[in-house]
Chains A and B, each alone.
Chain A
Amino acid sequence: MRKKHILAKSFRFFFLSLYLLAAVVPLFWIFITSVKPSTEVYTYPLIYWPKHFTLENYKFLFLFANFSQYFKNSLFVSIISSLVAMSFATLSGYIMARYKFKFKKTLIVFLFFAQMIPAYLIMIPQYKMFSDFGLINNLWGLIIVYVNIAVSFSTIMARGFFSRIPRSLEEAALMDGCSRVGAIFRITIPLSLPGLAAIFSFSFVNTWNELFTAALFLSSNSKLTVPVALYSFISKAGIQWNVMSAGLIVALLPTILVFAVAQRYIVAGLTQGAVKE
């Protein structure tokens, strides 16, 4: 019995380590490549640990390849659109969670379908529409598109979070002489802060990563977002992989940070719905 136990334990340890390696090694390798001089990148046998650790690649990105601008653009677009989507989703999600009204089911299906339609499928008519309004090659135009990308899923998530906060808590506050809106702000919103954080992070990650619409909409160099900049890197012949790796680290870092902070909430938001179903 004991022997079997130890065997099971080491079996488990072995496979858990395998998954860990598979997850870590690719990112680690990109990081190593990003701190190597190019002479150590294009050489065989491969150099697993840089002999000359360097930040030249990052310096090149930010000083010569205009990455600080792309980074600012991406932050601006993602933060604004996620905040707007979150506000809209708070309003509509609260209503969908608390009130019964006609067409409610229709509206839920409406959002569910909208969420199924990927950005790349509707980018052409959007492009046509936005060029009529002069919103092409304009970060505000992209923000409007991104609010749309984020808002339907955010509403579905917000509805889930609000409906898990017992109505009785709000009613208790009303009994204590709180106004209805006061009750929403003093009870419901603070209790749903983790939910709102999850909604914001989820939208932030999705809009930060969006490539296809941005690549169609943005053309001047000063307006590019980080994914579009990476795209223009790979379309050019002869990629410098050490510089490219630094670009990838810069592109991935914000989402890794957001995920590290909000993972618990995002996961809760996703799985609670699934388990309930």
Chain B
Amino acid sequence: MTAPFIRMMKLSNSSRQVGLKLKRFIFWMLLPTFVIVLILTYYPTVEGSILAFKDYSVFNFQNIHFVGLDNFKTIFEGPEFAIATWNTIWWIAFSVTLQLILGFALALLMRKPFKGRGLYAGIVFYPWALSGFAIGILWSWLLNGQFGLINDILIKMHILDHGINFLANPKYAFISVITVNVWYGIPFFAIMILAALQSIPTSLYESAEIDGAGSIMKFFHITVPYIKPTLVSTVLLRIIWVMNFPDIIYGMTRGGPAGTTNILATYMINIVYFESDYSKASAVGLVIISALTLYTLFYLKLTSSYEMGEL
């Protein structure tokens, strides 16, 4: 369908009619992608924000109408929302920091070639592709209080003298889900940082060695500055991703015991599944979307000023 007029285009690129045809060609090629994203991502985002001010629930399908700020009052009144908000902040801060440090360390260890490095990478990086939810379930078995492998190892190493039911105990449950999230996220950082490390020209190190620089000097004066753009963009993107990653928590505790491991995402999903109050859940969703939008704008501003060399 497109072949004839494109060949025509080649003959007379400046012709106005051909310009119009090219425009049409571009339009039709882009259409499927943008229509589906518009209808299934943007429209629901707006619709969801409006639902936050209505009374849509499994008990009220028909006469959905505006109820003002009622949903927000309900969520702000209970203690769960505040707990979930603080947990979200800790969840992001600890997960991303530790993923970065341990992922960076792994990338540095893997930097110089060794026998079987490809295979090693394949095995060590595998958690990255797996379902967070399944990983959560998997770890809840490993952390089982009676028959869990982790307790058994800790007892054998004389760190514990009896098993702890990690996920039933509010004191350990949140630490446990963060630890598993760190485990899950290390490969991603290692992959990104390793690729960046391998793009550093070796000549930089050679000339530094001639100037008598030691390994610590080289690390801080060549390695870190060179991969800084990758570090910054990976961390910034990862923050959004971790904030919206309820899967592991859902597999391990579903926010329990008593809401102590809820982040905003799991809090919202629990309202959908267990209270079936879709408008109340949408109110939580609107809070998340607002935070997300502000953060993304901040991210775009930061990366664009980064590109212009202001940072």
Contacts and interface: CB of A to CB of B under 8 A. Distances in A.
A125 B146 contact: no
Contacts of B44: 122, 124-126, 129
21 contacts: A15-B105, A23-B123, A27-B126, A45-B152, A88-B33, A99-B22, A121-B45, A124-B56, A124-B272, A125-B43, A128-B47, A128-B51, A128-B278, A209-B130, A209-B133, A241-B141, A263-B129, A271-B192, A272-B195, A275-B196, A277-B229
Interface stretch (A51-59, A65-73, A187-195, A210-218): A210-218
Contact of B10 (A147, A180, A244, A275): A180
Contact of A271 (B30, B152, B191, B250): B191
A19 B124 contact: yes
A267 B29 CA distance: 27
A29 B131 CA distance: 17
B270 to A, nearest CB: 11
B246 A212 contact: yes
B32 A211 contact: no
A263 B122 contact: yes
Given A41-B147, A46-B147, A33 B133 contact: no
Interface string A219-245: 000000001001100100000010011
Among A12, A30, A117, A128: residue with most chain B CB under 10 A: A117
A118 B244 contact: yes
Contact of A256 (B129, B144, B288): B129
A120 interface: yes
Interface residues of A, number: 91
A47 to B, nearest CB: 10
Nearest to B52: A124
A64 interface: no
A147 B133 contact: no
Contacts of A19: 106, 109, 124, 186
Given A95-B29, A124-B51, 18 more contacts: A16-B109, A23-B126, A29-B142, A96-B30, A113-B296, A123-B272, A124-B272, A148-B40, A151-B37, A181-B2, A211-B133, A212-B250, A227-B131, A230-B137, A248-B134, A251-B131, A274-B230, A277-B229
